[in-house]
Structure 1
Amino acid sequence: MEQAIIRVAQAIEQAERILLITGAGLSADSGLPTYRGLGGLYNGHTDEGLPIEAALSGSMLQRDPALCWKYLAELGKACLSAQPNAGHRAIVELQRRKPECWLLTQNIDGYHRAAGSPAERLIEIHGELAPLYCQSCGAVDPQLAEHLSRPLPPKCRQCGGVLRPPVVLFEEMLPERAIGTLYAELRKGFAVVISIGTSASFPYIVEPVLRTRQAGGFTAEINPTRTDLSAAVDVHLQSRALDVLPELLRHIQ
């Protein structure tokens, strides 16, 4: 493991343009359950007998906002009850040392922002849970925690419309700006791409890794379990991001 960590650290040290891709495994190290384990939500059906994908869909938010918000609130409470860990902080330090280190995250918990990752090099491909905004008048409401302690769904103070988070629900499109930024940066190319704590089940997560590898760049994966990407990367560090990322920093000037 030590030699593999050194190899990844050397590749980072020699590179200018770097892309880090993070998934639920990184936040799990903060004590936030991965989606599959979040209160059992993703282990079948909701209390109402619906697939969780149906309850947390854009159409359900329109049709039955109270039901959708019942499960959005579970996500919100879980995210608010934890905080960034040493892995998030190591990424912030790496971005400080490497001004062209970009961060693509599937996570909606906002921990990267909270830890200090620069917004101009952060791509939140699935959005985030706060601040809320009104679907009727567009007013922004930053009081997520307050709303979660009140009857749901949360309502706009200005017009009474239903609030929602800027998160990508099932059936909804990815945010155009995030996708545009990702592919604009991909066209410039990356010397190093590292997948961290993600099962890599989406094309926009797999593509940067495969494209960089084909172009002769260096690719790595940090994950305690093997994924579909494991066989395609130069190095697979089979460990928690919480442990590996600070260790990587110690080998990088």
Structure 2
Amino acid sequence: MDSAIERTGAALARAERILVITGAGVSADSGMPTYRGLGGLYNGRTEEGLPIEAALSGPMLRDNPALCWKYLAELGKACLNAQPNAGHEAIAELQRLKPECWVLTQNIDGFHRRAGSPVERLIEIHGELAPLYCQSCGQEDAGLAERLDGPRPPKCVRCGGVLRPPVVLFEEMLPEAAINTLYAELRKGFDAVLLVGTTASFPYIIEPVMRTRAAGGFTAEVNPGLTDLSSVVEERMVGRALDIMPRLLSHIPR
């Protein structure tokens, strides 16, 4: 694997426009349990016997906001109680060294921001946890931590409407601004795409890899297991982002 890290590091060093795509596996190294869907927190069914996709869905927030918020609160607490790790920090450093390096993340934990990734080159395709806002009047509510321990669902102090985080729940559309930004950058082309800790099962992950390969660019992945794109990328580095990303970064001149 050392040779794969060396070859990938050399390719990233040569590249100018880079896209790093991250999934739940990056945050698993911070103690967040992995899950294919929202935020990388849950597996299987809830205490109520529901698939977690149903509990954390737009329809559930509408029809039974207390139940939806039971699991949103667990998700929020897990994110707030964990910290970015060396994988997030290495990605932020790569962005510092490469001014045209973008990060596309499926995670809603905010760890890339906290590790120092510039907001103007960060696409949070599933949204983020804060600030909460009122679904009725739009009023923002900055007290995420306090709301997680309060009554569920939390209510707007101005109108009494149900608050929600700006995340993409199951059965909801992806944020238009994030999609537009991604495809605007994709049209410019990338010299390299690096998948880190993602199972690569969504079209907006697969397309950048396929487009970049077709245009002669470099593609690689960091993951403990096989993914849908393992047979497509040029280089595979088997392991945790926490261990591999700092080693990759060591091959890029300061």
Indicate the TM-score class for this superposition, using the shorter chain for normalisation.
over 0.9
Helix, strand or coil for the counterpart of 1:228? coil
- Deviation per CA, 1:27-52, whole angstroms, max 9, x where unpaired? 00001111269998421x22222221
Helix, strand or coil for the counterpart of 1:42? coil
Is 1:25 the counterpart of 2:25 in the alignment? yes
Q: Pick which of 104-113 and 29-38 moved more.
A: 29-38
The residue that corresponds to 2:244 in the other structure is 244
Q: How many residues align?
A: 252
Q: Pick which of 128-137 and 47-56 moved more.
A: 47-56
**What pairs with 1:26-65 in structure 2 (closer than 5 Å)?**
26-35=26-35, 41-43=42-44, 45-65=45-65
Q: Which sections of structure 2, spanning at least 5 residues, go unmatched?
A: none
CA distance 1:10–1:39, change in 2 (3 Å): closer
CA distance 1:216–1:19, change in 2 (3 Å): same
TM-score by length of 1: 0.96
- Deviation per CA, 1:58-89, whole angstroms, max 9, x where unpaired? 01101110011011111111111101001111
The residue that corresponds to 2:82 in the other structure is 82
Aligned-residue offset at 1:142: 1.5
The residue that corresponds to 1:104 in the other structure is 104
Q: Which sections of structure 1, spanning at least 5 residues, go unmatched?
A: none
The separation in 1 between residues aligned to 2:51 and 2:226, in whole angstroms, is 27
The separation in 1 between residues aligned to 2:42 and 2:21, in whole angstroms, is 25
The separation in 2 between residues aligned to 1:245 and 1:53, in whole angstroms, is 31
- Deviation per CA, 1:189-234, whole angstroms, max 9, x where unpaired? 0000000000011110111011101111000000011111101000
The residue that corresponds to 1:68 in the other structure is 68
Helix, strand or coil for the counterpart of 2:20? strand
The residue that corresponds to 1:3 in the other structure is 3
TM-score by length of 2: 0.96
The separation in 2 between residues aligned to 1:241 and 1:165, in whole angstroms, is 27
- Deviation per CA, 1:143-190, whole angstroms, max 9, x where unpaired? 111011111111111111110000000110000000000001000000
Report if the CA contact (8 A) 2:155-2:162 is conserved: yes
Helix, strand or coil for the counterpart of 2:109? coil
The residue that corresponds to 2:228 in the other structure is 228
The separation in 2 between residues aligned to 1:235 and 1:57, in whole angstroms, is 36
The separation in 1 between residues aligned to 2:153 and 2:113, in whole angstroms, is 26
CA distance 1:142–1:22, change in 2 (3 Å): same
Identity %: 73
CA RMSD of aligned residues (A): 1.5
Aligned-residue offset at 1:129: 1.1
